[in-house]
Structure 1
């Protein structure tokens, strides 16, 4: 049965499945993500959706503003959104919506400028404590050692022996519980805009044991799997590597995290149904970026603009999206959610639309599909100086990665250019793994896409990102857990 929004002003739920890449989830697989697949079956699924950046902060600000990182200015060169651009949160609040947010990711908190406009915002990012197996004091002490040169292999092995076991990743379940309580406590008939970020598929992969056991290869226990080292920065500098068998285990843990988070999508739907809000809700399930789990020699989502870190799942359920009931490969960006959600709610928000660089993909909007998507990676996080401070040896390739990357991708080709002038061209139809650079053999196509990128860069003023951003010790601890420090 297809649900359609009964009101002209539907509730909006924007549910971000942090670090969930397209490789495992596009199209939605009933075996791995049955709840996402059920939404797609009675809604709309976009199989060519791409992030504007390969990590959380810039991608979320793009989602909120409909702009790209170099315009909104929140990226690794300046890890703060200064509020100089209007956001969809402000637009919904101004239109009379009740606005609520909850985040498991420390980048999506007040400290980085992402909570303005919310009537209520729940910072649940401290649940990274669950990943370390320590309480707040032990958590901070652990990270102090990890960031220092004392935090070497022996310390990491000891830490894992102490902390494995149990069901460590519970942030998404707690988020759904909070939403249920929030809905139960509402005393307003106004529509609501609800944003939630759940971080489980992010490194370290520590899925609940009941999910992990469904995916682990034969002969691998849960404790043995979680004892594998997973610090992406230690991997980058060569302190450890995986055998083929161990890579299979790590990928199994990642898939288990996806399965667990999909179950929470189902729980959230059930919560909305129990509250009598589901029929009146437009539900968006999307990821902010993807992940490399061994592809291209990487662990995590730093240093590149491959499709593995840019292509994401996107399913929209409710209203015109359920009425259209499509699976489409039209090119879409996460930034396009800003005007699309405004169209779904019938909100003008002229200031936001004027500043936006995005295109609505609302089924009744009549906007022509994109011919291309753009992505930017302004600088690695952490900076090379942080790696030099922590590690005795930093490989030369990490110095080579200290550069801005920009990409333009059509449905057939991707062009990538680094700030040092290096260029790559990939045939994404014939070579979806982006293994073969064909720029030298295709100078005309390379030049055409380079000109397209230059024209795009010249179409707007880049943000002024002068000035440092200070964060608290507790935030540094949480960022260390995520591999950013």
Structure 2
């Protein structure tokens, strides 16, 4: 009997499918897709990190796992992929560069070790709030946080965080070095599951100059591009003006960040090969969500469920996935858990009974999806937080104070808001979702609403009590970053 394969789940945070699947940007990913499985219609269950990662690890949607804007924590009610693999004898490791994918958010469950790569010394005091805060805010934050836990460790981590930010490095190279050292030194007695989150394509975009030069428009230099404002909430509020040229510059920087990630994919695979582990490894590359760069009048990845945020890359290579080719049927990120359990030969029937995902493993016999659903359970940051931190808001911004659900078929996409609004896009002829055709297609709207309602009524919804491990002080600090309500 063949030994169970190692599994590497490489998450490239905030990565659009159109740029990721451009072989001039990501040649390593293109090569993996050419010889493995490349999903052309993979969709995130949510447009931001916390709920999307929770779906990736539980095989369920936000309404079921309960980790979203109203409850910023993954509770222990559902089994997780690392937990199930650990029970099956796997060594389980996580390296994270996104402060939402943290032990403080409930994601450490099932992992033997969980490494916060924004820390030089691992500590339960995250200091995640040091990301993208003004110098004045940082001084206040550090002063109020250093004495939580070990002051020496906290001081070291604070200085490291500020040093790393100054270098414009989001942790990619350090993370890859950590993986190389770990895989070279580990015992080969057990197979391993490694979740590695890389955050480079997330704002701010500050790629290495050599990569920026290769991906910026010919008429825009590096210094000009770096000087372009990267203030999504200021742009949303109308306080920051952005030209088409500005967005072309940002898109070039963003593509360079994806190219940087592509180099890390190659380096991690080289490390696995050097350690003699690659041949028996299933290697998954996926994005948790995409990004708006002026699309629909938005920046960053909030307030909507357009395909620019929820249509994501997903490539699987190794094992039974070799030679598969392009998979054009719908895939939800909730499908990752059952797919990888199949790859590992783990049955887990009780856990599978609760999954909303379906396996896309070549040996699976699940029926193709007729549709996918994405959810945005609440605005992040809240409109009140925007108003507090940004100032006066135009009236149109208050219309974004709602939750959203989207159901997408091959022909249409329906987006329904908690405020009673309904949008319909003919994605077969309007893939950029520029023309709302709900008014002229009432029968399609009714049909898709019935299908969405039937889907919603088919499972038990999480009912979090609101008490989460993220304390009020951290919540206030994360709100300063533009993440929390």
Native 8 Å contact 1:203 1:482 kept in 2: no
1:481–1:268 CA distance, 2 compared to 1 (3 A): farther
Q: Which residue of 2 aligns with 1:429?
A: 428
Give, in whole Å, the separation in 1 of the partners of 2:218 and 2:427: 34
Native 8 Å contact 1:330 1:370 kept in 2: yes
Q: Which residue of 1 aligns with 2:288?
A: 288
Q: Give the 3-state SS of the residue equivalent to 2:283 in structure 1.
A: strand
Give, in whole Å, the separation in 1 of the partners of 2:131 and 2:109: 31
* Unaligned 5+ runs, structure 2: 121-127, 142-162
Alignment of 1:34-113 (within 5 A): 34-113=27-106
Q: Give the 3-state SS of the residue equivalent to 2:413 in structure 1.
A: strand
How far residue 166 of structure 1 moved from its aligned partner, in angstroms, is: 8.1
Native 8 Å contact 1:14 1:284 kept in 2: yes
Q: Which residue of 1 aligns with 2:5?
A: 10
Q: Considering only aligned residues, what root-mean-square deviation do their CA atoms show, in Å?
A: 2.6
Native 8 Å contact 2:380 2:482 kept in 1: no
Native 8 Å contact 1:286 1:312 kept in 2: yes
Q: Give the 3-state SS of the residue equivalent to 1:35 in structure 2.
A: helix
Native 8 Å contact 1:416 1:424 kept in 2: yes
1:329–1:98 CA distance, 2 compared to 1 (3 A): same
Give, in whole Å, the separation in 2 of the partners of 1:383 and 1:117: 31
Q: Which residue of 2 aligns with 1:185?
A: 185
Q: Give the 3-state SS of the residue equivalent to 2:374 in structure 1.
A: strand
Give, in whole Å, the separation in 1 of the partners of 2:397 and 2:131: 31
Q: Which residue of 2 aligns with 1:241?
A: 241
1:137–1:39 CA distance, 2 compared to 1 (3 A): closer
Q: Once the two structures are superposed, what CA deviation does each residue of 1:91-149 show, in whole Å capped at 9, x if it has no partner?
A: 0000000000100000000110011111111111359xxxxxxx99897662627999x
Alignment of 1:130-141 (within 5 A): none
Alignment of 1:433-472 (within 5 A): 433-469=432-468, 470-471=470-471
1:321–1:143 CA distance, 2 compared to 1 (3 A): farther
With normalisation by structure 2, the TM-score equals 0.89
- Bigger drift between 272-281 and 395-404 goes to 395-404
- Bigger drift between 217-226 and 267-276 goes to 217-226
* Unaligned 5+ runs, structure 1: 1-5, 128-134, 149-162
How far residue 389 of structure 1 moved from its aligned partner, in angstroms, is: 1.7
Q: Give the 3-state SS of the residue equivalent to 1:197 in structure 2.
A: strand
- Bigger drift between 201-210 and 462-471 goes to 462-471
Q: Does 1:357 align with 2:356?
A: yes
Give, in whole Å, the separation in 2 of the partners of 1:9 and 1:226: 46
Alignment of 1:255-404 (within 5 A): 255-322=255-322, 324-404=323-403
Give, in whole Å, the separation in 2 of the partners of 1:102 and 1:381: 24
Give, in whole Å, the separation in 2 of the partners of 1:393 and 1:484: 19
Native 8 Å contact 1:95 1:347 kept in 2: yes
- Bigger drift between 183-192 and 403-412 goes to 183-192
1:310–1:476 CA distance, 2 compared to 1 (3 A): same
Q: Which residue of 2 aligns with 1:210?
A: 210
Q: Give the 3-state SS of the residue equivalent to 1:194 in structure 2.
A: strand
Give, in whole Å, the separation in 2 of the partners of 1:7 and 1:203: 43
Q: Which residue of 1 aligns with 2:148?
A: none
Give, in whole Å, the separation in 2 of the partners of 1:479 and 1:200: 21
How far residue 220 of structure 1 moved from its aligned partner, in angstroms, is: 3.5
Q: Once the two structures are superposed, what CA deviation does each residue of 1:172-207 show, in whole Å capped at 9, x if it has no partner?
A: 111111111111221241100000100000111111
Count of residues in correspondence between the two structures: 457
Q: Give the 3-state SS of the residue equivalent to 2:434 in structure 1.
A: coil
How far residue 222 of structure 1 moved from its aligned partner, in angstroms, is: 2.4
1:243–1:146 CA distance, 2 compared to 1 (3 A): farther
Give, in whole Å, the separation in 2 of the partners of 1:475 and 1:72: 20
Q: Once the two structures are superposed, what CA deviation does each residue of 1:1-43 show, in whole Å capped at 9, x if it has no partner?
A: xxxxx93410000000000011212xx3332111101111211
Q: Which residue of 2 aligns with 1:158?
A: none
Native 8 Å contact 2:69 2:484 kept in 1: no
Give, in whole Å, the separation in 2 of the partners of 1:433 and 1:143: 40
With normalisation by structure 1, the TM-score equals 0.89
Give, in whole Å, the separation in 1 of the partners of 2:231 and 2:139: 10
How far residue 221 of structure 1 moved from its aligned partner, in angstroms, is: 3.5
Native 8 Å contact 2:32 2:316 kept in 1: yes
